[in-house]
């Protein structure tokens, strides 16, 4: 069941209802049906998470955490009592930070731990593996950590090599997180030299360093270590910072988009397309373009959306999902998706919408979104001239990025019910003035979702802090009702060392249409202290559905705020980009318009629609994809199959005569050859007798067989 507290509201189902005329049973059924159809509007947030865990620790499989070894300094200097104002030792702070890290580590994370200086005074070989890389027994490890002293030297270089050995044999990207409060004092080998050696091995190892209350020399050395391997250096000046930085660097897992929806395979032609009910679907598009901008040979798919009624509108979006685990490609190619609605004759029922993202915008959602033309009455010119209301979606992938790799495409189909036009007012004739978001106070740590489907629900007037990694996007959703306006303030945090070069803030409607916002939408890595404010140009209002302002945000419901990362610099820095978001919805939520009976302009009780709309969205999403579409006047009885595959065999393709022809021909030739061979005078060996050979199989009535069988097949 979906979370009904946060669902998008439908026309006429918003807070505060208007009473329509008495509700006859037929109208009730109609409203119920409409509400079910509208389930598509409510689909996305069904599994939204609202975690306060800033790590974004994984609860599912899509979050990927690199294998990591934490190297912790237990040298004697860790006994200094300056970790905080109360005189906590650095050692205690380190224990506490490690304990928190272990508590927040995702289940099954490949985490290892190495310490140096914990056992022997003056021993540069005092390096101990507390935990090998792999699943962790947290309580056992904590006990071992609690028993450690801080007595020894600071053999950073040797400890790095030791930790690298722990990661030996593990393919792919991996990292070491080094925490030290001082500089190398063993030099066996020197710390930076060891790091350079590791970098030279090309084993995909990155070393990130945290300087805990370090002096300039140690800072310089730890920076050298980090930069040698493409990692980052940060400084922690107290116990809290140490805990935060350690956790961020270690268990801030990359969160890729996990597509969801009823599996469907689009048709290769208009009329071989599967019929979809409103809901969310998942297809896979095999390839992009051979040559961007010109070959246009990316996968093309069609979907039959069935018939809409006069007054209704179809919303259809397609979200293309490149492989986010790949870094920006050479030349920064792009991948895109184009969507259009057509009718059964191929006439346009919407303009086409294209969206794309370069490989450097790896996290940006690539959404093609269209809305059907106005369907005022049957027989109107253009799309609905045929009077059937039949719609088809045409979707094509384009661009060269990951062109040879299949990409999931998440499809969302929503039917917006007809409304009583007489209840609508004039549409907005101008944009509203920009508005500041003046919310203040401590930001709450919120982990955004990794997809539209898992967008974190955020209450109005929330200030949150989060971060986004290269190739990643964070999704939040917030309810915006009729009469209300969404305002977003974004500010970068300590982002100078972040992997992404910038982040982009975008807003999408509940139907996944991109919403044009006033104001800047980009924050760069530096300088710190940047703020960008975005406002809806006008308040959400059904009045604007055909106006020139607010056409992309006229429906009440959950709106999505998406923060995505851009990374065009050529390094392996995967440090998250920290930011703050303040979300403010201004204005008083108002009643929505009344739902009208499709095509009749008849008003029905919106209360019923709301009740019906609270059905599990899955019902609407349980596609008729794969099911035979119902008879409709447009299908002529010979309608499209529900699935796109299985094109019929051409008539008259009968292999049997060909087989028999081949058989007979072959046998005939064989018989002829045998006959010729037999007629050839072969001298009989002495003592043998010649016999007249009987006709061979190939020589028996070849003509009869040929002719009879051929005739028979005819």
Partner 1 sequence: MSTSDRPTRTLTALGLTLALTAWVGAPALAATPAPDTEKGSAPATQVTPYQPSGTQVTGGESLADAVEVEPGLYQDTLQTSEEASSPAVSTRFYRLPALQDGERAHAAAVLAADPHADPRGTDWAELTVEFVNLQGEQCGPPVADNVSMTTGAVPVAKTATDPMEAGSHGCFEDGSGVVVAQVSRSGEWLADDPVAVELRFWVEPPVDESGLAEAPSEDLPPESVTVTGEARPVTGGRSFGTATEITAGQVYSAELQPREASYFRVPVEYGQRLSYRLSSGNNQQARVREIRTSAHDPLLGDPRMLGDQGISYTDNGATLTRSTAVPVSADNYGSYSYGALRFAGDYYIVVTGSEARGGREGTEPFRYELAVSLSGEAAGATEWLAAAQDEQTLAAGGSADGEDAQAAGARNGGWLPSSTELGALLGGVGLGAVLTGIAWLLLRRRRSA
Strands 205-212 and 233-236, by their bridges, are: parallel
Cβ-proximal residues to 704 (8 Å cutoff; 6+ apart), any chain: none
Residue 295 engages partner 1 in binding (rule: CB under 8 A): yes
Q: How far is the CB of 659 from partner 1 (least distance, A)?
A: 4
Residue 650 engages partner 1 in binding (rule: CB under 8 A): yes
Rounded CA separation 269/499 (Å): 43
Q: How far is the CB of 359 from partner 1 (least distance, A)?
A: 23
Give the range of 86-94, 236-244, 524-532, 671-679 binding partner 1 by CB under 8 A. 671-679
Secondary structure of 68-82 in HEC code, one letter for each residue: EEEEEECEHHHHCCC
Residue 379 engages partner 1 in binding (rule: CB under 8 A): yes
Residue 463 engages partner 1 in binding (rule: CB under 8 A): no
Residue 670 engages partner 1 in binding (rule: CB under 8 A): yes
Rounded CA separation 289/214 (Å): 52
Q: How far is the CB of 682 from partner 1 (least distance, A)?
A: 8
Q: Considering beta carbons, is residue 254 or 302 the nearer one to partner 1?
A: 302
Residue 307 engages partner 1 in binding (rule: CB under 8 A): no
Give the range of 121-129, 269-277, 367-375, 414-422 binding partner 1 by CB under 8 A. 269-277
Q: How far is the CB of 37 from partner 1 (least distance, A)?
A: 22
Please check whether residue 409 is in contact with residue 283, taking contact to mean a CB–CB distance below 8 angstroms. yes
Rounded CA separation 681/686 (Å): 15
Rounded CA separation 470/360 (Å): 9
Interface with partner 1 (CB under 8 A), residue from 647, 701, 707, 708: 647
Beta bridge partners of 596: 603
**Three-state SS for 534?**
strand
**Three-state SS for 313?**
strand
Q: How far is the CB of 689 from partner 1 (least distance, A)?
A: 10
The secondary structure of the chain in percent helix, strand, coil, rounded to multiples of 5, reads 25, 25, 50
Rule CB under 8 A: which of 584-643 touch partner 1? 634-636, 638-641
Residue 271 engages partner 1 in binding (rule: CB under 8 A): yes
What token pair was written down for 120?
């022997």
Q: How far is the CB of 395 from partner 1 (least distance, A)?
A: 9
Cβ-proximal residues to 648 (8 Å cutoff; 6+ apart), any chain: none
Interface with partner 1 (CB under 8 A), residue from 86, 139, 294, 440: 294
Strands 334-342 and 407-416, by their bridges, are: unpaired
Residue 689 per-residue DSSP state:
-
Q: Considering beta carbons, is residue 215 or 645 the nearer one to partner 1?
A: 645
Residue 699 engages partner 1 in binding (rule: CB under 8 A): yes
Give the range of 139-147, 343-351, 586-594, 612-620 binding partner 1 by CB under 8 A. 343-351
Q: How far is the CB of 131 from partner 1 (least distance, A)?
A: 55
Rounded CA separation 378/514 (Å): 30
Give the range of 360-368, 412-420, 467-475, 691-699 binding partner 1 by CB under 8 A. 691-699
Number of residues that bind partner 1 (CB under 8 A): 67
Rule CB under 8 A: which of 384-413 touch partner 1? 385-388, 390, 394, 396
Phi/psi at 162 (nearest 5 deg)?
-60, -45
Residue 658 engages partner 1 in binding (rule: CB under 8 A): yes
Rule CB under 8 A: which of 168-227 touch partner 1? none
Cβ-proximal residues to 151 (8 Å cutoff; 6+ apart), any chain: 74, 75, 76, 117, 118, 119, 120, 121
How many Å separate Cα 249 from the centre of its chain?
23
Rule CB under 8 A: which of 522-551 touch partner 1? none
Please check whether residue 53 is in contact with residue 461, taking contact to mean a CB–CB distance below 8 angstroms. no
Q: How far is the CB of 693 from partner 1 (least distance, A)?
A: 5
Q: Considering beta carbons, is residue 125 or 677 the nearer one to partner 1?
A: 677
Residue 573 per-residue DSSP state:
-
List residues near partner 1 by CB under 8 A.
Answer: 269-272, 294-297, 300, 302, 342-347, 378-379, 385-388, 390, 394, 396, 634-636, 638-641, 647-671, 673-674, 678, 690-691, 693, 696-699
């Amino acid at each position: 069941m979906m979370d009904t507290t946060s669902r998008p509201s439908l026309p006429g189902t918003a807070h505060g209802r208007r009473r329509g005329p008495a509700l006859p049973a037929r109208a009730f059924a109609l409203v119920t049906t409409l509400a079910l159809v509208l389930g598509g509007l409510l689909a996305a947030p069904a599994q939204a998470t609202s975690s306060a865990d800033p790590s974004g620790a994984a609860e599912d499989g899509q979050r990927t955490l690199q294998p990591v070894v934490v190297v912790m300094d237990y040298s004697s200097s860790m006994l200094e009592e300056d970790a905080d104002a109360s005189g906590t030792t650095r050692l205690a702070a380190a224990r506490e930070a490690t304990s928190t890290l272990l508590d927040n580590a995702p289940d099954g994370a490949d985490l290892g731990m190495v310490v140096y200086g914990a056992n022997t005074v003056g021993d540069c070989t005092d390096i101990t593996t507390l935990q090998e890389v792999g699943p962790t027994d947290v309580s056992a490890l904590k006990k071992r950590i609690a028993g450690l002293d801080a007595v020894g030297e600071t053999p950073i270089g040797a400890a790095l090599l030791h930790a690298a050995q722990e990661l030996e044999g593990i393919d792919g990207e991996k990292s070491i997180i080094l925490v030290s409060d001082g500089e190398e004092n063993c030099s066996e080998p020197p710390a930076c030299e060891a790091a350079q050696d590791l970098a030279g091995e090309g084993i995909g190892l990155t070393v990130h360093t945290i300087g805990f209350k370090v002096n300039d020399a140690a800072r310089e050395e730890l920076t050298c270590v980090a930069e040698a391997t493409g990692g980052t250096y940060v400084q922690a000046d107290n116990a809290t910072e140490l805990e935060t930085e350690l956790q961020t660097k270690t268990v801030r897992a990359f969160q890729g988009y996990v597509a969801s929806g009823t599996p469907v395979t689009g048709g290769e032609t208009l009329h071989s397309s599967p019929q979809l009910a409103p809901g969310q679907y998942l297809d896979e598009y095999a390839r992009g373009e051979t040559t961007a901008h010109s070959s246009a040979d990316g996968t093309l798919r069609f979907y039959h959306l069935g018939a809409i009624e006069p007054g209704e509108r179809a919303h259809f979006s397609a979200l293309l999902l490149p492989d986010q685990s790949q870094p920006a490609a050479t030349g920064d190619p792009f991948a895109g998706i184009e969507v259009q609605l057509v009718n059964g004759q191929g006439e346009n029922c919407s303009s086409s919408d294209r969206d794309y993202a370069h490989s450097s915008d790896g996290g940006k959602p690539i959404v093609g979104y269209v809305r059907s033309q106005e369907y005022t009455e049957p027989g109107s010119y253009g799309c609905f001239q045929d009077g059937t209301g039949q719609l088809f979606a045409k979707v094509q992938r384009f661009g060269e990025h990951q062109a040879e790799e299949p990409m999931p495409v998440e499809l969302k189909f929503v039917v917006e019910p007809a409304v009583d036009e007489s209840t609508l007012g004039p549409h907005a004739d101008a944009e509203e003035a920009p508005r500041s978001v003046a919310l203040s106070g401590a930001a709450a740590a919120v982990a955004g979702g990794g997809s539209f489907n898992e967008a974190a629900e955020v209450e109005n007037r929330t200030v949150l802090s989060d971060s986004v990694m290269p190739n990643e996007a964070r999704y939040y959703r917030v309810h915006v009702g009729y009469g209300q306006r969404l305002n977003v303030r974004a500010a970068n945090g300590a982002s100078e060392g972040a992997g992404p070069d910038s982040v982009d803030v975008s807003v999408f409607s509940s139907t996944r249409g991109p919403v044009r916002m006033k104001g800047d939408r980009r924050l760069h890595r530096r300088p710190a202290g940047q703020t960008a404010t975005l406002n809806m140009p006008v308040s959400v209002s059904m009045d604007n559905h055909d106006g020139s302002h607010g056409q992309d945000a006229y429906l009440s419901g959950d709106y999505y705020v998406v923060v995505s990362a851009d990374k065009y610099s050529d390094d392996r820095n995967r440090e998250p980009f920290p930011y703050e978001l303040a979300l403010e919805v201004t204005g008083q939520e108002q009643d929505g318009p009344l739902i009208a009976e499709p095509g009749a302009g008849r008003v029905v009780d919106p209360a019923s629609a709301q009740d019906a709309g609270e059905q599990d969205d899955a019902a609407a999403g349980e596609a008729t994809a794969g099911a035979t579409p119902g008879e409709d006047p447009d299908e002529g009885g010979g309608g499209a199959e529900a699935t796109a595959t299985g094109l019929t065999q051409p008539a008259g393709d009968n292999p049997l005569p060909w087989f028999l022809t081949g058989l007979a021909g072959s046998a005939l030739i064989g018989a002829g050859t045998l006959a010729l061979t037999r007629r050839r005078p072969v001298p009989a060996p002495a003592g043998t007798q010649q016999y007249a050979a009987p006709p061979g199989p190939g020589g028996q009535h070849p003509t009869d067989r040929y002719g009879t069988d051929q005739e028979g097949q005819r």
